[in-house]
Structure 1
Amino acid sequence: MIKKGLSRLGTFFLYLLSLLPFWFLYLIADLLFVILYYITGYRRKVVQENLRNSFPEKTAEERKLIERKYFKYMADLMMETIKSVSMSEKQVRKRMIPTNPELVDHYFKNGKSILAAAGHYCNWEMACLSFGFLTDKKRLIVYKPQSNEVFTDFFNRIRSRFGATMISMKQTLRKMIEYKNELTFTVLASDQTPVKHEINYFTTFLNQPTAVFLGIEKLTKVVDCVVIFYRIDLVKRGYYTYTFVPLVEEPKLTKPYEITEVHVKYLESLIREKPEYWLWSHRRWKVKPEDIQK
C-alpha cells in the first residue's frame, strides 16, 4: 500500500514536471547529463562493456565518444519522455513527422494488416503518441509489463491517449487472432530480452550471440500480415521523423527464422549508422547460449 502510494505520488510529480516548457526541460537535461556522466557514473561500466563487445573494431577513443553522446542523448530522452505525459496532439505532430504514411494506406488498400518491428532507438515514447493518430484503423502497441503496476498503468494511459490500444505481450497472439478479420497496425519492440526460460533462439547481433523473441515471426505467419520496420531519426533536438521500411510482404513464403533475422539485422544496421541513439545502458546480453545448454 505504501509502495503504491509513493508510486502514485511519483506519477503526479511527473505530470507536474511535464507541464514545464521544452526549453526549461532541456536545461534540466543538460544538468542531468553532468550528473549521470561525470558525477554518479550511472551504468557507465555497463555501457562501456556493451560498446566494447559490440564495436571491437573501433578505437577506445571512438567508443568513448559514442558513450558520451549516448549519455547526452539519454538525458534529453528522459526529459522528452516526461514531457510526453502532457504533450498535445499539435505538439506531437510538430515534433514527430512521418516521411511515408502513404505506405500504410497502400497496404490497407490491398487488404493487408501491418506488423511493425521497432527498437529502443531515438524517442520511441513520442513515436507511440504519434502512432495513435496515424490511421483510423485499429492501432495496437504491444508492451512488456513492468514490476511496478502503477507506473505501467500510468505510461500505458499516456501512450494510448491518442487512440492506440495497449496489449500485454502475453495477450498479443489472442488479440491479433481476435482482430484477424479487421485491418490492424501492430507495433512490437524487436530488441526486448526474453526471460531465460522463454529463450528459443539466438542470433548474432552487434557481434555477440543474442537471445531474441520469435514473436514477430510467429504472429505475422498466423495472421499473414506484412512486416515493416518503424524507423525513427533525430532531425534536431526534440524533433524527429519516422519512416516505415518494408521488410517482408509474404511471411508464409519465408523460411524458419528468416523474418527474425531480417528485422534484427535491420535494427543492427540502424544502430551502426548512429549508435548513440540506442539503449546501451540496458543489460541486453546477460544470458549466454551456454547458460541455456546447462
Structure 2
Amino acid sequence: MIQNQAMRSQWKRIRYRLEWIGLLLATKLIPLCSRRVCHYLARLAGALLSFVDRPRYRVALSNLEVAFGDRFSPAERRKLARQSFQHFAQTMVDLLWSPRLTQQNFSRYIECQNFEETERGTGPERSIIIACYHYGNFEWLSLACGFLDLKGTIISQEFKNSLLDAIFKKLREQSGHELVPRERGIIRLYKV
C-alpha cells in the first residue's frame, strides 16, 4: 500500500514536470504561429482532448442531455460536446498566443462592444467588481480590459500543478492586471 502511494506520488511529480515543460514549450512556439495555424491547432487539440479525456467528455454529454432533453440527437450532442472542448482549446491557444497582443494592435483581434457603458460607471474614485464566468474567450476579455485601461485585480484559482501558476500569471497580467490567489482574494479586492 505504502509502495503504491509512493509510486503514485513519484508519477505525479514526473507528470507535473512534463506538463510544465509542455506548457513552457507551447508559450515559446505558439506565439510564432499565424492566427490561422492557431485556429487549426486548437480545433485538433480540442477534438483529441474530447477523445482522450473520456470522463469529462461523458460529463459534457450528460450535461447536454440534462439541459436540452431530447432536443438534440445523440450524434448532435456528441458534436456539441466535441465543439465545447475545441472552444476551450481555442481559448487556451489564444492565451498562449497573446504575448503578440499590444495596446496598439489588440483591437484587430478582439472586438469590444458597448465598452462606453463600463467606462461611464468606472473611474479613479469608483471601484467596481466584475464577475466573469468562463464563457466565450474569457482570457482575451480580461486582456482587452487591461489594454482599454480598465486594469484590476483578478482572483484566479491555482492549478493542482503549481508549476503552471507562474506561467499563467505572466500571461494574464500582461495587459496590466494583478493576479491574486483565490485564498483571501475577496479581501484583497475590497482593499483595492
Q: Same fold (TM over 0.5)?
A: yes
- Residue 151 (structure 1) aligned with residue 170 (structure 2): no
Cα deviation code 1:146-185 (max 9, x no counterpart): 1112211110111001110112222223223322xxxxxx
Higher helix share: 2
Whole-Å separation in 1 of the counterparts to 2:101 and 2:108? 10
Query: What one-letter code is carried by the residue in structure 1 that aligns with 2:114?
Result: N
Cα deviation code 1:251-285 (max 9, x no counterpart): xxxxxxxxxxxxxxxxxxxxxxxxxxxxxxxxxxx
Structure 1 residue 3: Cα displacement: 6.4
Higher strand share: 1
Backbone CA RMSD of aligned residues: 2.8
Q: Is 1:96–1:130's contact at 8 Å kept on the other side of the alignment?
A: yes
CA pair 41-3 structure 1, distance change in 2 beyond 3 A:
closer
Secondary structure of the structure 2 residue equivalent to 1:13: helix
Cα deviation code 1:70-110 (max 9, x no counterpart): 244334334323322x2221443322222122222312359
The 5-angstrom pairing of residues 35-184 of structure 1 reads 35-37=48-50, 40=52, 42=54, 43-56=56-69, 58-61=71-74, 62-84=76-98, 86-89=99-102, 90-108=104-122, 111-135=125-149, 138-179=151-192
- Aligned pair count? 176
Whole-Å separation in 1 of the counterparts to 2:53 and 2:162? 28
List runs of 5+ in structure 2 lacking aligned partners: 1-12
Q: Is 2:47–2:83's contact at 8 Å kept on the other side of the alignment?
A: no
- Residue 27 (structure 1) aligned with residue 40 (structure 2): yes
Identity of matched residues, % = 22
Aligned to 1:11: 23
Whole-Å separation in 1 of the counterparts to 2:100 and 2:34? 10
CA pair 78-166 structure 1, distance change in 2 beyond 3 A:
closer
List runs of 5+ in structure 1 lacking aligned partners: 180-294
Q: Is 1:29–1:75's contact at 8 Å kept on the other side of the alignment?
A: yes
